[in-house]
Structure 1
């Protein structure tokens, strides 16, 4: 972990004191923006740089953002030195931080401002996850959930990246991630308290298992593969019979429980999420059997090993709703681009190490 240079650190300390006093002042005398009916959003921004004078680039970004008339306050975390994740090899280490911003700018306008600051710093976009002079990611904008071509909020990879969550927890630990309904501090602490286990939902096809085997070999992760006897041809339980379905679930639970008893310090992958069986049940069982299976599933739910991340190939509404109910962080893949998916899963594994 690295702190800013002395001149910047002293300025940040002044700012933090000033922000504390300003918060008290604003409670007594509301901001003119609020009195004019202008909405002020609480936003979280991830910051990184691994080219040039990294500390200076982050400091200047802070100054430029603070000077914008649409920004009413800004807090800055300490700086953290981290290894690059994904992208070209032989990159220099990153300096990462987080900004907590109160702003009257819309999400799109704030994104545009961040991109302008990146360009002034020399940011170029030639290759995915390449080295950069400055990277500013809009992570959260109040509790907004936005999925547009140029803007996705919450940031889709923030939930499992330590280099994002650690500085963010320092200055905005109580902010809530809107789809998992977990605080930033909770998401960060899960990385330390849970085993580094990634569940891959609905990955029984030969093509998807081949991809996961390749990624496991590349990254050194341990791959937990459902035995063929459990699921010879289908992603669903092998029988609509209740006893067989429960046996199928119990065998998968036992497979995942190996993670908790292992002394190996590594990332684990499974070609299933335990919730898959619950989602698949209505496709092969009668209504009465589904209800009984759901009861059996919930009896076991408390003791089920919890993944730190669920990776989803087919992001159907039923799967996403189930993940949201379980408050589980998820990463949605592209169902048609295997190279993209391979990069995403490999980068997620590296981020957990």
Structure 2
């Protein structure tokens, strides 16, 4: 199955944490097919904290959605993630954005991720690798969603070193 994951973080050396997480993601979740560039964004939700670095990747996974969730939560924990405050600072945040065109709504899992269309820090990196992907519920491409997004946070490309 094709899976879009978002990576985010604002504690520690986020770029280094992302680099170190890629092998764990490939080992536990699936082969990374594409990765967007890295982007810096002001904190969303709980605003009084350091800027976040965000990225979106496309994976090929043989796991089912609940197994993917279990594995990404284990990877977050491996990299020091503590769930203390909603939208609070974190070393590594991994979110499932889409799994193919699946729609899942239960206590543990919401696919597609419910806030994608309002978050440019997701839409911009996703647009870089999959602008024509169609949101299975909204029936709009990532390009269309980007044009309609009301989020006014700046999302800045981090140049490659």
TM over 0.5: yes
* Deviation at residue 184 of structure 1 after TM alignment: 1.5
State the partner residue of 1:110: 68
Residues 185-215 of structure 1: CA distance to partner in whole angstroms, max 9, x if unpaired? 2211333xxxx4xxxxxxxxxxxxxxxxxxx
Partner of 2:23: 63
Q: CA deviation at 1:67?
A: 2.5
The separation in 2 between residues aligned to 1:90 and 1:127, in whole angstroms, is: 12
**CA deviation digits over 1:129-163, x for unaligned, max 9?**
00000000001011111011010001010111000
TM-score, normalised by the number of residues in structure 1: 0.42
Q: Distance in 2 between matches of 1:111 and 1:172?
A: 22
Structure with the bigger RCO (C-alpha within 8 Å, sep 6+) is 2
- Structure 1 gaps of 5+ residues are 1-40, 197-350
Instruction: Name 2:12's counterpart in structure 1.
Output: 52
CA distance in 2, matches of 1:177, 1:166: 14
The runs of 5 or more residues in structure 2 that have no matched partner are: 154-161
**1:162 alignment partner in structure 2:** 120
Listed as ranges, the matches of 1:95-244 within 5 Å are 95-191=53-149, 196=150
Alpha carbons 2:3, 2:61 under 8 Å: kept: yes
Give the match's secondary structure for 1:137.
strand
Measured in 2, the distance between the counterparts of 1:102 and 1:85 equals 29
Query: How does 1:18-97 map onto structure 2 within 5 Å?
Result: 41-68=1-28, 71-87=30-46, 89-97=47-55
Count of residues in correspondence between the two structures? 153
TM-score (norm 2): 0.89
Question: Alpha carbon RMSD of aligned pairs, Å?
Answer: 1.4
Picking from 134, 152, 156, the partner of 1:352 is 152
Cα distance change of structure 1 residues 72 and 97 upon mapping to structure 2, 3 Å threshold? closer
Instruction: Provide the C-alpha distance between the structure 2 equivalents of 1:102 and 1:184, rounded to a whole number of angstroms.
Output: 19
Cα displacement (A) at 1:126 = 1.1
Poorly superposed stretches of 4+, deviation over 3 Å: none
- Structure (1/2) with the larger strand percentage: 2
User: In structure 1, the residue corresponding to 2:68 is in which secondary structure?
Assistant: helix
Which of 1 and 2 has greater Rg? 1
CA distance in 2 between counterparts of 1:59 and 1:185 reads: 27
- Conserved 8 A contact 1:108-1:151: yes
